[in-house]
Amino acid sequence: MRQKRRFFLSRIILYSVGFFAFLTGFKYLWRYMVRRVKGESVQIFAGRLSDMKEEVKEIRFRDEILLIIKKGEKVETFSSTCPHLGCKVEWIPSEKRFKCPCHGALFDEDGRVLSGPAPSPLKKIPTNVKDDEIMVEVGFYYED
């Protein structure tokens, strides 16, 4: 009887050690293949509110084009990447809404989906206006 138990125990120990070794090795492999992205953000100066004559201004920062929309004294910024499949969204002044030229997705001036294939609203970028200056918070990304 004791033989059987010892046999069983040694089997469990062996398998669990092997399992942990396998898990660790697998974890290392995963880290090798998939790199984590860390982010840092910075505020950039996007012009003066008083200088902004048009309703929507496009500014370009690194890979992205950001759309700054003026609503009276407030200002909001949206990413111009359409949440459907990534085309660049345009502002149509006559219709007062954003339209994506690829599949016709429409968004209102708050970025909400009006119609079309977009699954979610336009991504909002933190913005604030201080002393007539528009400061947009954008991110730097690191891959580790």
Q: Which residues make beta-bridge pairs with 77? A: 68, 125
Q: In the complex, what is the shortest distance from the CB of residue 129 to another protein, in angstroms, rounded to a whole number?
A: 14
2 is a contact residue toward another protein (CB under 8 A) = no
Among residues 8, 9, 21, 103, which is the contact residue for another protein, using CB under 8 A? Answer: 21
C-alpha–C-alpha distance, residues 77 and 136, integer Å: 8
- Interface stretch with another protein, choices 36-44, 85-93, 94-102, 105-113 (CB under 8 A): 36-44
Q: CB-wise, 63 or 73, nearer to another protein?
A: 63
Q: Tokens 């090795």 — which residue?
A: 25
- Binding track over 43-62 against another protein, x by CB under 8 A: -xxx-------------xxx
CB contact at 8 A, 97 and 45: no
Residue among 74, 95, 103, 141 that touches another protein (CB under 8 A) = 141
Residue whose CB is less far from another protein, 17 or 114: 17
Enumerate residues 6+ apart whose C-beta is below 8 A from 143: 35, 36, 37, 38
DSSP SS3 for 109? coil
Choosing from 1, 33, 72, 86, the residue that interacts with another protein (CB under 8 A) is: 33
Q: Which two tokens stand for residue 66?
A: 């950001």
> What is the rounded CA–CA span in Å between residue 12 and residue 6?
10
Tell me the C-alpha distance between 43 and 136, whole Å. 5
Provide the binding-site residues for another protein, judged by CB under 8 A: 3, 7, 10-11, 13-14, 17-18, 20-21, 24-25, 28-29, 31-33, 35, 37-38, 40, 42, 44-46, 60-63, 133, 140-144
